[in-house]
């Protein structure tokens, strides 16, 4: 039995609506909202006043109109500086310059209009908002300059979260790197255990299980807000903090950055130093040093750029279309040299008699001779004669594995380790 076309279309619309509602519930809105009330000189509310917010970097505008209560609301504004204008026939135009909006902000900006012509205007400089009265959430905002210019270990902006009151690191003192997915989640927030926080990128969850999925390039972070007390109903995925990152979106001016960090120096392990300066291991010279100490490298390089999309004679995207690009590479070579004990040739054949010359505690006992001892609850075993394991009792699989084990040498083996980055290769690239 087929359903009528009208019913099928209604069911389709319902399904699409549910999907959209479900997707919107997954993330918290990271963009800012501008709201407020417009009144006349007597304090009466003004209906129908046009309110326009203009992004000063991109020169893009969004408008709203006051309702019966004189209230207006302009949502979905990117973080940055804005010029807010209010105009209505019979009143002078009111202008508020330099209104700064942050990620996930709900900032109230009220206006009092003066009587006069619209051609006249009253301009007021923006004042810093000392107390946010539109939301109960508590947190710390890291702005673009802080995120890009403060010294951050490994170039991971999420490490700045540790500057937030009530936040402690649970990751110890490890060096970290730009691809460290736990930089924003391996934290203790107001006593809540590590791994209980959430990271969002432009309002979308950026998580891989209990860690962040992809830390952004440091120079591409517009700003981020770390909310440690989250009473907002739109936040409920984490018991700890919620870090909401807003990435740069470009503007009418061309901006670019380039950077490179290089290091080949690190403290030499104690046993490696002992080997190098021990005359019994060979003459102390540069060849011996280079053989034992390969060196340590931590290199990070990249570039970012943003601006308007302009195709000569085809398209002028100023004040309309913008682009952002970022690239970052990471290469780490760690010094894992050391001196290790390996079986001697005689021990590979099961002969451990040399150990008895050192101390009798190295005696090997035959596990096949375990028997009850005279004392209750104890057992006796017989020692292997000469501390030698019979050849017939050597396990063939163990003998095969020994072929892959290094043979004993007077020279310390050199074992180097190249960083396995978050992307599983020695060089990791992030392109946004």
Strand boundaries in 126-191, DSSP class E: 138-142, 167-169, 187-189
pLDDT confidence of residue 322: 92
Q: For residues 146-170, give the mean pLDDT.
A: 83
Q: If 0-12 CB within 10 Å is exposed, 13-18 middle and 19+ buried, where does residue 282 land?
A: middle
pLDDT confidence of residue 416: 40
Q: Which of 111, 137, 117, 139 is nearest to 52 (CA)?
A: 111
**What percentage of the chain carries pLDDT values higher than 90?**
30
Q: For residues 290-306, give the mean pLDDT.
A: 80
pLDDT confidence of residue 393: 92
Above 80 in pLDDT, residue 193? yes
Please identify which residue in the block is written with the tokens 């043979």. 407
Residue 85, strand partner residues: 52, 95
Sequence spans of domains, the chain: 26-125, 138-247, 255-338, 345-402
At 5, the pLDDT band (50, 70, 90 cuts) reads low
DSSP for residue 387: G
End-to-end CA gap in the chain: 50
Tell me the C-alpha distance between 425 and 148, whole Å: 26
Over residues 235-287, the pLDDT tens digits come to 667 788 888 888 898 889 999 999 888 776 667 778 888 888 988 888 888 88
Q: Average pLDDT, whole number, for the chain?
A: 80
CA of 258: how far to CAs of 40, 185, 302, 416, in Å? 51, 28, 6, 30
Please identify which residue in the block is written with the tokens 């505690």. 361
Q: For residues 47-61, give the mean pLDDT.
A: 92
Tell me the C-alpha distance between 365 and 372, whole Å: 15
Q: For residues 278-301, give the mean pLDDT.
A: 81
pLDDT confidence of residue 261: 83
Q: Which of 246, 228, 235, 55 is nearest to 138 (CA)?
A: 228
In contact, 154 and 176? CB cutoff 8 Å: yes
pLDDT confidence of residue 82: 94
Over residues 355-411, the pLDDT tens digits come to 998 888 999 999 999 998 888 888 899 999 999 999 999 999 999 998 888 776 654
At 430, the pLDDT band (50, 70, 90 cuts) reads very low
Over residues 308-362, the pLDDT tens digits come to 999 998 999 998 899 999 999 888 876 565 566 788 889 999 999 999 988 889 9
At 209, the pLDDT band (50, 70, 90 cuts) reads confident
Tell me the C-alpha distance between 393 and 247, whole Å: 66
Architecture of domain 26-125: Sandwich (2.60)
Q: What is the CATH number of domain 138-247?
A: 2.170.130.10
Q: If 0-12 CB within 10 Å is exposed, 13-18 middle and 19+ buried, where does residue 206 land?
A: buried
Which secondary-structure segment (H or E) carries 122? Answer: strand 121-125
Q: Which of 383, 3, 60 is nearest to 251 (CA)?
A: 60
């Amino acid at each position: 039995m087929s359903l009528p076309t009208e019913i099928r279309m209604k069911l389709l619309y319902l399904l699409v609506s549910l999907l959209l509602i479900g997707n919107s519930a997954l993330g918290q809105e990271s963009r800012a909202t501008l709201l407020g009330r417009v009144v006349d000189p007597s304090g009466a509310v003004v209906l129908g006043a046009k309110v326009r917010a203009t992004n000063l970097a991109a020169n893009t505008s969004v408008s709203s109109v006051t309702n019966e209560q004189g209230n207006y609301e302009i949502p979905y504004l990117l973080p940055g500086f804005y010029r807010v204008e209010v105009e209505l026939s019979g009143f002078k135009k009111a202008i508020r310059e330099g209104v700064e909006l942050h990620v996930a902000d709900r900032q109230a900006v009220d206006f009092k209009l003066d009587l006069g012509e619209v051609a006249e205007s009253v301009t007021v400089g923006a004042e810093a908002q000392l107390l946010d009265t539109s939301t109960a959430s508590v947190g710390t905002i890291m702005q673009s300059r802080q995120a890009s210019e403060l010294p951050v270990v490994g170039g991971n902006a999420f490490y700045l979260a540790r500057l937030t009151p009530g936040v402690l690191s649970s990751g110890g003192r490890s060096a970290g790197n730009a691809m460290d997915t736990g930089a924003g989640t391996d934290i203790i927030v107001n006593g809540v255990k590590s791994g209980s926080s959430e990271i969002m990128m432009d309002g979308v969850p950026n998580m891989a299980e209990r860690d962040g999925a992809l830390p952004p390039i440091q120079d591409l972070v517009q700003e981020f807000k770390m909310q440690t007390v989250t009473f907002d109903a739109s936040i409920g995925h984490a018991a700890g903090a919620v870090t909401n990152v807003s990435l740069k979106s470009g503007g009418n001016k061309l901006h670019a950055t380039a950077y490179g960090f290089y290091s080949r120096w690190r403290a030499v392990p104690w046993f490696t130093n002992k080997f190098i300066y021990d005359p019994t291991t060979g003459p102390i010279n540069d060849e011996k040093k280079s053989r034992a100490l390969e060196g340590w490298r931590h290199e990070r390089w990249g570039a970012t750029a943003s601006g308007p999309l302009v195709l000569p004679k085809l398209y002028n995207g100023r004040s309309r279309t913008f682009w952002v690009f970022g690239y970052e590479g990471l290469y780490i070579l760690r010094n894992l040299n050391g001196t290790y004990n390996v079986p001697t040739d005689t021990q590979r054949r099961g002969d451990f008699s040399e150990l008895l010359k050192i101390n009798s505690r190295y005696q090997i006992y035959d596990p096949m001779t375990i028997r009850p001892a005279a004392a209750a609850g104890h057992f006796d075993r017989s020692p292997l004669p000469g501390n030698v394991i019979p050849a017939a009792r050597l396990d063939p699989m163990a003998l095969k594995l020994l072929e892959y084990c290094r043979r004993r040498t007077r020279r310390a083996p050199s074992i180097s380790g190249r960083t396995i980055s978050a992307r599983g290769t020695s060089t990791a690239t992030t392109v946004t």
